[in-house]
Amino acid sequence: MLVTFPHMGNAYIAMKSVLEDLGVEVLVPPPCTKRTLELGTKHAPELACLPLKLNIGNYIEALEMGAEVIVMAGGCGPCRFGYYAEVQREILQDLGCNFKMVVLERPQGNARDFVKKIAMITGGKNILQVLASIKRATRVAVLMDELESLCWQVRPREKREGTVSRLMREFHSQAVKTRGSGKLAILIGEYKNRISRVETEEKKEVLRIGIVGEIYTVIEPFVNVSIAEKLGDLGAEVDKSITVSYWVINHLIKEALHMHDKRELREASYPYLRSFVGGHGQESVANTVLYKRRGYDGVIHLLPFTCMPEIVARSVLPEVSHRYGIPVMTLVLDEMTGEAGYMTRLEAFVDLIRRKKEMKELYEERILSGD
Amino acid sequence: MKPRVGIPRALLYYNYFPMWEAFFKELGAEVVLSDLTNKKILDDGVNCSVDDACLPIKVFHGHIINLKDRVDYLFVPRLISVERNEYICPKFCGLPDMVLNSVRELPTVIDCTINLRNSYSSLRKAVLDVGRLFTSDYRRIYMAYRKAAQNLKFFEELMENGATPLEAMRGCHSAKGEYRYPIGLIGHPYNIYDNYVSMRIIDKLRDRGINVITQDMICSTELDRIARGFSKPMFWSFGKRIMAASRYLIDERQARGIIYLVAFGCGLDALVGDLVERRIRKRGIPFCLLTIDEHTGEAGIDTRLEAFVDMLEWGGAKECL
């Protein structure tokens, strides 16, 4: 039984680790490419959001390679993600694909169903073994995100441009071939070492930009045209408000146990957005405020076209930007997004905040010298 | 002087207006409505809301602008959920915030939260919060709410008997003409009943002797019964009604065809529309998906409607498919 799952940035590393530790044969779909997107847009509803389309592309490519079971997450609204699996199943069935879909979602009252589904994928493994491997995979996800954030810090400062990106490409091609959480953790550690040894210019002035928005567009480099890499090359250090490990720990584990502490988020977003709006809409607003408090120079807000929660966030963000004096740029992503247009906007944004920072420093200098 | 409460004629106006009208009137307030949707309202709405919001949200912003200088209070409730374990749509959860941050110089906005997802107690709190703005007499608030709930029940009964919300608000039953056959018209209430947005689609179909049945003209218990048969419970209240109605109309009312009116940019319609369409097409029943946005020309919609009706009348679906 060959199991596959849709891509979302580096999430495949955690998924692979949990399934392989349980002895499941895993087929990681090929990385998202133009073909993935074309397959998705061809078969998915026209106005569906981008992640749904790419998921469909991932499934089709994985099924072509012989996958038999698709594992997908579910939800209970109000974001459309909760109904993805239903729509995707119908689409694939109508295409005549032969597959089985297992939807993992937080059980609503009936926990037995959930356990049964897990048993089906793992071939009847003990629930304790399952929990242990989830714990190990969470650890791998945390390590992976540490590696990524190290890249974001090193990239704008590296002496020879492109070193970090080359190392990361190498890393991903090896990660696909590595099996099990133990070996993945070692591989991640090895590359963390290599990247921290990359030669850097410590004195270089870098800008700090926070990225907020819808989780898939923030995490998946194919959709956001590798925004973290591009900003790094432009000399800006990036931080993403949502990462895979954050999502796994806070949304999957803590939420299920009612331990997710949202007070800080609620407090930060309250003057602008007073309610949960599904997805990560409230987080986008709150994190923009938090980035300002942490001294960031600008924020980029990403969302797929027609994303419902982020449209609400988008309509209040100008007010946040205005009141806190932090530049915010919203980028709407869809299948038409052209890389060149993107690049121009990013360059312009970076220039703008760099200029703003310089002006501010100049102004402060003047005050100090008494001019 | 009586306080004036403004209610925009958009979004859930078509579902709950008779209830809130009675409530505010019983509390001694004057209810002011925005004008019927027109070109100016639409343009104002488009100009002040974010460009990728859906059409109904833009229309709503337009109604707010139309109303804001004429009233003391604007009624923009935050409707998170109106049924157990369900939501309306993310944009409704943040509606007051969207309005407050996009339209300037607003009067006091009444943005009570109604969230019946987990329990019904928030309705009580919302009613009391709103009522306290006008009176400190709890008994009076309670009586006003009872009257409001009765009105809503009466209104919904009229609709289930085949009246559109606008007819039901006038208190009349549907225009009982000689209809030749039924077809289903499904979609969000604020799209299909707003005569400007939908370009009088119901009247146009009725003029051709067609009995138009919308999801609101079907008994709610029937819809709930069908919705329990979904492979996964649908967590959007409107999505659930639309999908259940499409099945009910085909299976139990022998509708000759189904028209689904969607608004461009509506997230629910994108997914629900696809699920509905796949099922209807498999049954071999004619299906027409009409997408409306701020640019839609009436002539284009008319052509498609006429073509659809002609197809239904010239020898059934099989030949045309």
Instruction: Confirm whether B215 is domain-assigned.
Output: yes
Integer Cα distance of B64 and B69 in angstroms: 9
Three-state secondary structure call for residue B183: strand
Looking at the structure, tell me whether residues B88 and B212 fall in a common domain: no
Instruction: Confirm whether A226 is domain-assigned.
Output: yes
CA atoms within 13 A on the CB side of A193: 6
Instruction: Confirm whether A268 is domain-assigned.
Output: yes
For residue B232, the one-letter residue type is: K
pLDDT > 70 in chain A, percent: 98
Looking at the structure, tell me whether residues A28 and A116 fall in a common domain: yes
With CA atoms as reference, the chain B residue closest to A320 would be B101
Count of structural domains within chain B:
2
CATH assignment of the domain containing A344: 3.40.50.11900
- Whether residue B80 lies within 8 A of chain A, CB to CB, comes out as yes
Residue identified by tokens 């029943």 is B285
| Residue of A44, A78, A319 lying closest to B93 (CB–CB) | A78
Looking at the structure, tell me whether residues A245 and A123 fall in a common domain: no
Looking at the structure, tell me whether residues B115 and B150 fall in a common domain: yes
Looking at the structure, tell me whether residues B138 and B223 fall in a common domain: no
pLDDT tens digit sequence for A78-106: 888 988 999 999 999 999 989 999 888 87
* pLDDT for B293: 85
Q: Looking at CA atoms only, how far is residue B249 from chain A in angstroms?
A: 21
CA atoms within 13 A on the CB side of A74: 23
* Average pLDDT score over residue span A122-149: 88
Three-state secondary structure call for residue B256: coil
Looking at the structure, tell me whether residues B182 and B300 fall in a common domain: yes
CB atoms < 10 A from the CB of A185, how many?
Answer: 18
Chain B residues whose beta carbon lies within 8 Å of the beta carbon of residue A312? 90-91, 93-94, 97-98
Nearest to A299 by CA among A312, A290, A308, A310: A290
Integer Cα distance of A280 and A278 in angstroms: 6
Instruction: Confirm whether B169 is domain-assigned.
Output: no
Q: Tell me which of A79, A106, A128 is where a domain ends.
A: A128
Q: Tell me which of A128, A146, A172 is where a domain ends.
A: A128
Looking at the structure, tell me whether residues B142 and B193 fall in a common domain: no
Q: Assess contact for B287 and B281: CB atoms under 8 A.
A: yes
Q: Tell me which of B124, B159, B194 is where a domain ends.
A: B159
* pLDDT for A317: 93
Instruction: Confirm whether A236 is domain-assigned.
Output: yes
Instruction: Confirm whether B168 is domain-assigned.
Output: no
Looking at the structure, tell me whether residues B13 and B57 fall in a common domain: yes
* pLDDT for A92: 93
Looking at the structure, tell me whether residues B76 and B119 fall in a common domain: yes
Q: Tell me which of B159, B186, B213 is where a domain ends.
A: B159
CA distances from B185 to A76, A104, A265, B195, B297 (A): 27, 35, 42, 14, 20
Looking at the structure, tell me whether residues B181 and B312 fall in a common domain: yes
Task: Give the confidence band of A108 by pLDDT, cuts at 50, 70, 90.
Answer: low
Looking at the structure, tell me whether residues B126 and B218 fall in a common domain: no
Instruction: Confirm whether B166 is domain-assigned.
Output: no
* pLDDT for A110: 65
* pLDDT for A38: 93
Looking at the structure, tell me whether residues B65 and B154 fall in a common domain: yes
Q: Looking at CA atoms only, how far is residue A277 from chain B in angstroms?
A: 5
Looking at the structure, tell me whether residues A113 and A249 fall in a common domain: no
Q: Write out the two tokens for B153.
A: 């029940």
pLDDT at A370 over 70: no
Q: Write out the two tokens for A304.
A: 């797929």
- Whether residue B264 lies within 8 A of chain A, CB to CB, comes out as yes
ipTM: 0.88
- The tens place of each residue's pLDDT in chain B, 321 residues long, gives 788 999 999 999 999 999 999 999 998 899 999 999 999 999 999 999 888 889 999 999 999 999 989 999 999 999 988 888 889 888 999 999 999 988 988 899 998 888 888 888 888 888 888 888 888 888 899 999 999 999 999 999 888 888 888 888 887 766 666 788 889 999 999 999 999 999 999 999 998 888 899 999 998 898 999 999 888 888 899 999 999 999 999 888 888 899 999 998 888 999 999 999 999 988 888 999 999 888 778 888 899 999 999 888 886 545 444
* pLDDT for B120: 81
Q: Looking at CA atoms only, how far is residue B194 from chain A in angstroms?
A: 22
For residue B237, the one-letter residue type is: S
Instruction: Confirm whether A369 is domain-assigned.
Output: yes
pLDDT at A124 over 80: no
Bridge partners (DSSP) listed for residue A211: A240, A300
Q: Tell me which of A85, A101, A128 is where a domain ends.
A: A128
Looking at the structure, tell me whether residues B46 and B127 fall in a common domain: yes
| Residue of A48, A82, A272 lying closest to B101 (CB–CB) | A272
Integer Cα distance of A27 and A66 in angstroms: 8
CA distances from B316 to A70, A118, B71, B137 (A): 40, 48, 53, 62
Instruction: Confirm whether A153 is domain-assigned.
Output: no
| Residue of A52, A309, A311 lying closest to B52 (CB–CB) | A311
Q: Looking at CA atoms only, how far is residue B163 from chain A in angstroms?
A: 30
pLDDT tens digit sequence for A270-283: 888 888 888 888 99
CA distances from A371 to A117, A359, A362, A364 (A): 72, 15, 11, 10
Which parts of chain B fold into alpha helices (H)?
13-26, 39-48, 55-67, 90-93, 95-102, 121-132, 138-160, 165-169, 189-192, 201-207, 220-227, 237-252, 267-282, 298-313, 316-320
Chain A residues whose beta carbon lies within 8 Å of the beta carbon of residue B86? 77
Integer Cα distance of A362 and A366 in angstroms: 6
Contact between chains at A308 and B274 (C-beta distance less than 8 A): no
* pLDDT for A289: 93
Residue identified by tokens 């629900």 is B272
Looking at the structure, tell me whether residues A87 and A217 fall in a common domain: no
Q: Write out the two tokens for A355.
A: 């200029």
Integer Cα distance of A145 and A345 in angstroms: 27
Looking at the structure, tell me whether residues A79 and A218 fall in a common domain: no
Which element (helix H / strand E) includes B278?
helix B267-282
* pLDDT for A154: 92
Integer Cα distance of B270 and A49 in angstroms: 9
CA distances from A250 to A143, A259, A367, B289 (A): 16, 8, 45, 40
Task: Tell which of B274, B275, B276 to mutate to test the A interface (max A CBs under 10 Å).
Answer: B274
pLDDT tens digit sequence for A164-219: 999 999 999 999 889 889 999 999 999 999 999 998 888 778 999 999 999 999 99
* pLDDT for B320: 46
Chain centroid, CA A151 distance in Å: 15
Contact between chains at A318 and B101 (C-beta distance less than 8 A): yes
pLDDT > 90 in chain A, percent: 54
Looking at the structure, tell me whether residues A236 and A114 fall in a common domain: no
Instruction: Confirm whether B230 is domain-assigned.
Output: yes
| Residue of A45, A85, A275 lying closest to B274 (CB–CB) | A45
Integer Cα distance of B159 and B154 in angstroms: 9
CATH assignment of the domain containing B14: 3.40.50
Give residue B203's domain range: 177-320
Contact between chains at A108 and B234 (C-beta distance less than 8 A): no
Instruction: Confirm whether A136 is domain-assigned.
Output: no
* Average pLDDT score over residue span A294-305: 93
pLDDT at A56 over 60: yes
Average model confidence (pLDDT) across chain A: 89
Looking at the structure, tell me whether residues A228 and A368 fall in a common domain: yes
Give residue A242's domain range: 206-371
Instruction: Confirm whether A165 is domain-assigned.
Output: no
With CA atoms as reference, the chain A residue closest to B113 would be A275
Chain centroid, CA A269 distance in Å: 21
**For the CA atoms of A290, A293, A298, A304, what is the dihedral angle to 10 degrees?**
10
Nearest to A329 by CA among A283, A268, A281, A288: A288
Looking at the structure, tell me whether residues B290 and B247 fall in a common domain: yes
Task: Tell which of A277, A329, A332 to mutate to test the B interface (max B CBs under 10 Å).
Answer: A277
Instruction: Confirm whether B167 is domain-assigned.
Output: no
Listed in sequence order, the residues at least 6 apart from A34 whose beta carbon sits closer than 8 Å to its beta carbon are none
Looking at the structure, tell me whether residues A250 and A111 fall in a common domain: no
Instruction: Confirm whether B68 is domain-assigned.
Output: yes
* pLDDT for B57: 93
Instruction: Confirm whether A146 is domain-assigned.
Output: no
Count of structural domains within chain A:
2
CATH assignment of the domain containing A27: 3.40.50
Integer Cα distance of B118 and B220 in angstroms: 20
Contact between chains at A308 and B90 (C-beta distance less than 8 A): yes
